[in-house]
Amino acid sequence: MKPIEIYHGSTEAVVFPEIRKTRYTKDFSWGFYCTKNYEQAYRWANRRNGAGVVSIYSYVENESLKILKFEEMTDEWLDFIGKCRAGYIHSYDIVEGPMADDTIWNFVNDFLNGDISREIFWAYAKFKHPTHQISFHSIRALECLRFEGSENADDREAEK
């Protein structure tokens, strides 16, 4: 299988990715999150004050791993995010799919809180274009990544 380039944005280069349990779970639960979209990683890197860094990886999918892929936003995707945000721990090594931007996340949150129905969520979300995320949830999954280098998110200077 041919490697693809994926990115992770944070405050420092992440040569050795880790899965960290944090205070809040994310869309696909705790994991190491990357994206195929450089601009998305750039935004992740700059979400806090200070200079961010985009780490660059080559990723080769290991078909022996338990992988869940959502090609687009669906009811299954919405329900999975809802469960993960509520603390559900799944058994997948890798989960890949759309990432709700801030606007879509507000709709997801409204749905999860019971403030809007599923039908209204889809009516609101249908004109929004989510970005991509891929999350790694096991040591075996992290072994699919090879660090290629990093770039400062503020000036795009390569540190390869």
For 13-42, the pLDDT digits (tens) are 999 999 988 777 788 999 999 999 998 899
Query: How far apart (Å, rounded) are the C-alpha atoms in residues 18 and 8?
Result: 12
Q: What pLDDT does 96 receive?
A: 97
User: Whole-prediction pTM value?
Assistant: 0.87
More confident residue, 106 or 54: 54
- Cβ atoms of 145 and 14 within 8 Å: the answer is no
> How far from each other are the two terminal CA atoms of the chain, in whole angstroms?
24
Cα separation, 44 vs 152, whole angstroms: 12
3-state secondary structure of 50: coil
3-class DSSP state for residue 9?
strand
Q: What is the mean pLDDT of residues 68-75?
A: 94
- With beta carbons less than 8 A apart as the criterion, state whether 62 and 43 touch: no
* 86-136 pLDDT tens trace: 889 999 999 999 987 777 888 888 998 999 999 999 998 877 777 899 999
Name the pLDDT band for 155 (thresholds 50, 70, 90): low
- Distance, in Å, from the CA atom of 68 to the CA atom of 94, rounded to the nearest integer, reads 6
Which residues lie below 8 Å from residue 24, measured CB to CB, with a gap of 6+?
none
Q: What are the extents of the domains in the chain?
A: 4-152
pLDDT digits (tens, 9 = 90+) for 134-154: 999 999 999 999 999 999 986
